[in-house]
């Protein structure tokens, strides 16, 4: 039986985009203005994301202590909210539709590792949240998923499969528990 050998890990195939200098400057900007409680001003954060290549709609709210890996791999539609301590680990493209809500501590994870290989290879896949989605506090969206329009991932749940439009999902792994009705 083979064993994991982290010393043979090689992700040289992976290209996050942006130059080394751009990634370095973004790291400093992210630490200072995003992943901090000392700068609560959403409008300036939106401006900075656009400077670094993100596509951001109007009326987007970004709370303190948000961590965004690569803004040039991020699209956020109009009037979406990014709550405190959200982590957008976008090794691949992340598209967040309009009127979405990512609640406190939620995580969008585009990367993982292949635990079946001794080299523990990197796996990276995009994530799409269609319009009106709500990702509850402390919830996790795994790589390669599409959350259908107006779907809900409840508090502390883990999405390992696509969510149907207007579906409400709960648990680990998240399962559909009812249909969302908006009055």
**pLDDT tens by residue, 71-123:** 999 999 999 999 999 999 999 999 999 999 999 999 999 999 999 988 889 99
- Does residue 143 sit within a domain? yes
Check which CATH number belongs to the domain holding 34 and give it.
Answer: 2.160.10.10
Domain count, the chain: 1
- Does residue 175 sit within a domain? yes
User: Is pLDDT at 43 greater than 90 in this prediction?
Assistant: yes
Among 115, 119, 146, 152, smallest CA distance to 133 is for: 152
- Does residue 10 sit within a domain? no
Interval 128-145: pLDDT, tens: 999 999 999 999 999 999
Residue that is written with structure tokens 């992943």 in the block: 35
Q: Which residue range is the domain that position 107 belongs to?
A: 19-179
Q: How far apart are the first and last CA of the chain?
A: 56
- Does residue 6 sit within a domain? no
- Does residue 48 sit within a domain? yes
Longest dimension (CA), the chain: 56
CA distance 183 to 31: 40
């Amino acid at each position: 039986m083979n064993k994991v050998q982290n010393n043979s890990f090689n992700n040289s195939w992976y290209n996050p985009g942006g130059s080394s200098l751009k990634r370095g400057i973004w790291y400093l900007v992210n630490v200072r203005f995003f992943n901090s409680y000392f700068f609560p001003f959403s409008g300036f954060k939106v401006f900075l994301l656009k400077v670094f290549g993100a596509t951001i709609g109007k009326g987007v709210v970004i709370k303190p202590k948000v961590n965004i890996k690569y803004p040039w791999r991020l699209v956020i539609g109009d009037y979406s909210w990014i709550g405190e301590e959200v982590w957008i680990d976008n090794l691949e493209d992340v598209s967040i539709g309009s009127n979405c809500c990512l609640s406190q501590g939620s995580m969008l994870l585009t990367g993982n590792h292949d635990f079946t290989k001794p080299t523990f290879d990197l796996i990276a896949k995009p994530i799409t949240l269609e319009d009106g989605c709500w990702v509850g506090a402390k919830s996790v969206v795994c790589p390669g998923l599409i959350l259908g329009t107006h779907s809900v991932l409840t508090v502390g749940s883990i999405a390992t499969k696509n969510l149907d439009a207007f579906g409400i999902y709960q648990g680990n792994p998240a399962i559909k528990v009812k249909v969302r009705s908006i009055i």
